[in-house]
Amino acid sequence: MCLTRNSTAERPGSTDHVPFDSSCSLAFSTTDISVPPSRLGYESDGRSRRSDTRLAARRDRRVPGRLPSLSSRASPWASRGEATLASNGVVENAVRTTLPGPLRAAPTSAVGTTEAAAVVGRLVGARSAASDAIVELGFRFAAVRAGYWLGWASIAVVLAGLGFDGGARHRWLLVGLTLAAAAANTVAMGIPWREWLASRRGSLLLDIWCGGLIAFVALLVVDGGSNFALLLFLSVPFIAVVQNGRRRVVWLAASAGTCTVAAALVPLSAGATAMRLALVAVAVGVALVLARAIRRETSAHTRAAARAELERTLAKEGNHRIKNDLQTVADLLLLGRPEGGDGAAFDGTAARIRSIATVHRLLTEADQIEAGALLRSIAESAPVPVAVDAEPAALDAATAQKLGIVANELVTNAAQHGTPPVLVQLSTGSRTRLRVDDRGSDLDGATGFGLELVRRVVEQGLGGSFELRALPGGGTRAEVVFPAVPK
């Protein structure tokens, strides 16, 4: 069920309507709440967490390569979500003390971490084959790019050798071969290898490239004589890297055979020919070993990056569900709100829960939270106008959660006991300072639970200090100072 901006909930047996927060977007399932929706006094619009899960599953099947969404039974306490809530005893205990008796007695549990880890493992395993293919394509594309520069370096070496060696046979034929190789290299640079490498067209073009390279080197060696015999080694590392499987074996064998024939035709002594052939064999072995080592390293980096991306996706999914669950708790709490002034404790607790939900909403948008965005979100929910002036600062999840609770308490206190306007300032430097100023209040209300919660979270959670003092000319300033956060 979704509670929209204009929706209200009517408690059974009462004519009171409790307004819900405009940012509320909730999903209920009868497997999550034992009380039927009709007993809670509101109407369902037909949407449920279970139906959302089915829609997400169908969507994931339609989109190839899309990460499957977590089911409603998967624990939201995954990765960063677990660290920010389950491990945050200071905030958890502080907020728990404000809950009414039945909710206060309910245990807070971070069960499901093993289940979430199993989900990560299954998804990583399911993607291993695709990841290997992506690694191989990326590696071959990098090898092709390296082949461009290897080709230009070889062309430059050949032209330099022809310039210094005036006695080369068929000099202009060698120049023509080199210019033809330069033209072929230029054409190769214009081929969309990134799109074609995975297709038969890309494999065919690589075969043509390898064959042309072997023929070019063999002609240079045969026509140029012993001066170009060392060029026989150019084709070996390139073929070992860009080809794979049976194609690599075939082309390396072709390269070795061509080198053998070319070396036999070059007027060299038997010892020099044997030495060059031995060097070719060594070059083949070294190239294969290096290619395998580079592939393993690239595969490890790619798998680590893929796993990190998957964990970030799961963390965002978990934060989204945590946000929805916290909104659910806040609104269920307001459903039991008593009439009159006795409901103030319920309102305060609901506001604190929503401040934590705001943090998790922002965590679904980025890995870190911008302090200004967090403070502005809190200011928008205040009952009085609040101006925010915040310097850029990136907060991790735990710091953002604690700062959100502190800022919510101070803004609420200023709205209740002070006079608008309320000004919230955040400055960074060697120490981070949060100031909340109001006009017209005094320090008589400085002993309430809200300020005690602020003091406890600041000192125990943020490792900072909290001070409340009167401003010259009237008004109150609440100042929180804690260790600097990165900008």
**3-state DSSP call for residue 112?**
coil
**Residues sharing a CB contact under 8 Å with residue 135, sequence separation 6 or more, in sequence order:** 295, 298, 299, 302, 303
- pLDDT tens figures, 10-28: 333 333 433 333 333 333 3
pLDDT at 97: 45
The most confident of 105-119, 287-301, 363-377, 416-430, by mean pLDDT: 416-430
pLDDT at 283: 67
Percent pLDDT > 70 in the chain is 56
Percent pLDDT > 90 in the chain is 3
User: Are the C-beta atoms of 188 and 148 separated by less than 8 Å?
Assistant: yes
- pLDDT tens figures, 309-339: 777 777 777 767 776 777 777 777 777 777 7
Written out in words, the top-level CATH class of the domain with range 368-487 is alpha beta
| pLDDT at position 75 over 80 | no
Calpha distance 365→369 (Å, rounded): 9
- pLDDT tens figures, 400-427: 888 888 888 888 888 877 777 889 999 9
**Candidate from 139-143, 184-188, 274-278, 365-369 with smallest mean pLDDT:** 274-278
Calpha distance 281→232 (Å, rounded): 11
Return the domain boundaries, the chain.
Answer: 135-268, 368-487
Residue 481 pLDDT class (50, 70, 90 cuts): very high
| pLDDT at position 212 over 80 | yes
DSSP letters spanning 156-222: HHHHHHHHH-TT-TTHHHHHHHHHHHHHHHHHHHTS-HHHHTTSHHHHHHHHHHHHHHHHHHHHHHH
Nearest Cα neighbor of 315 from 36, 59, 79 is 79
User: Are the C-beta atoms of 404 and 390 separated by less than 8 Å?
Assistant: no
Calpha distance 43→38 (Å, rounded): 7
User: Are the C-beta atoms of 235 and 217 separated by less than 8 Å?
Assistant: yes
Higher pLDDT, 205 or 244: 205
| Torsion sign across C-alpha atoms 308, 313, 314, 318 | positive
Calpha distance 21→407 (Å, rounded): 18
- pLDDT tens figures, 26-74: 333 333 333 333 333 333 333 334 444 444 444 444 444 433 333 333 3
Which tokens is 154 given?
């070889």
Calpha distance 116→120 (Å, rounded): 6
Burial state string for 330-366 with b = 16 or more CB within 10 A and e = fewer than 16: bbbbbbebeeeeebebbebbbbbbbbbbbbbbbbeee
Higher pLDDT, 282 or 18: 282
**Candidate from 103-117, 177-191, 205-219, 400-414 with smallest mean pLDDT:** 103-117
pLDDT at 413: 82
Residue 246 pLDDT class (50, 70, 90 cuts): confident
| pLDDT at position 435 over 70 | yes
Instruction: Report residue 211: phi and psi, to 5°.
Output: -65, -40
Which tokens is 347 given?
């309102």
Q: Which H or E run contains 433?
A: strand 431-439
- pLDDT tens figures, 378-391: 888 887 888 999 88
Mean pLDDT of 364-391: 83
**Radius of gyration for the chain, computed over Cα atoms and rounded to the nearest angstrom:** 35
- Kindly report whether the peptide bond that precedes residue 421 is cis, defined as omega within 30 degrees of 0: yes
Burial state string for 442-476 with b = 16 or more CB within 10 A and e = fewer than 16: eeeeeeeebbebbbbbbeebbebebebeeeeeebb
Which tokens is 145 given?
């790019």
Residue in the structure block whose two tokens are 């006009």 = 439
User: Please, what is the average pLDDT of the chain?
Assistant: 67
User: Are the C-beta atoms of 360 and 323 separated by less than 8 Å?
Assistant: yes
Mean pLDDT of 172-195: 84
**Candidate from 79-88, 123-132, 247-256, 462-471 with smallest mean pLDDT:** 79-88
Residue in the structure block whose two tokens are 């809670």 = 40
pLDDT at 434: 92
The most confident of 203-207, 346-350, 366-370, by mean pLDDT: 203-207
Task: Specify the length of the chain in residues.
Answer: 487
**Candidate from 152-161, 270-279, 429-438 with smallest mean pLDDT:** 270-279
With vertex at residue 474, the alpha carbon angle to CA 472 and CA 480, rounded to the nearest 5 degrees, is 70
Residue 261 pLDDT class (50, 70, 90 cuts): confident
| pLDDT at position 449 over 60 | yes
**Residues sharing a CB contact under 8 Å with residue 229, sequence separation 6 or more, in sequence order:** 221, 263, 266, 268, 276
pLDDT at 5: 34
Calpha distance 377→386 (Å, rounded): 11
Q: What is the pTM of this model?
A: 0.41
Residue 219 pLDDT class (50, 70, 90 cuts): confident
User: Are the C-beta atoms of 362 and 315 separated by less than 8 Å?
Assistant: no
Mean pLDDT of 461-477: 86
**Residues sharing a CB contact under 8 Å with residue 74, sequence separation 6 or more, in sequence order:** 112, 115, 116, 119
Residue in the structure block whose two tokens are 């199993």 = 118
The most confident of 109-118, 139-148, 451-460, by mean pLDDT: 451-460
Calpha distance 256→251 (Å, rounded): 8
Higher pLDDT, 266 or 385: 385
Nearest Cα neighbor of 406 from 468, 338, 345 is 468
With vertex at residue 353, the alpha carbon angle to CA 348 and CA 359, rounded to the nearest 5 degrees, is 130
- pLDDT tens figures, 87-122: 344 444 444 444 444 444 444 443 344 555 555 555
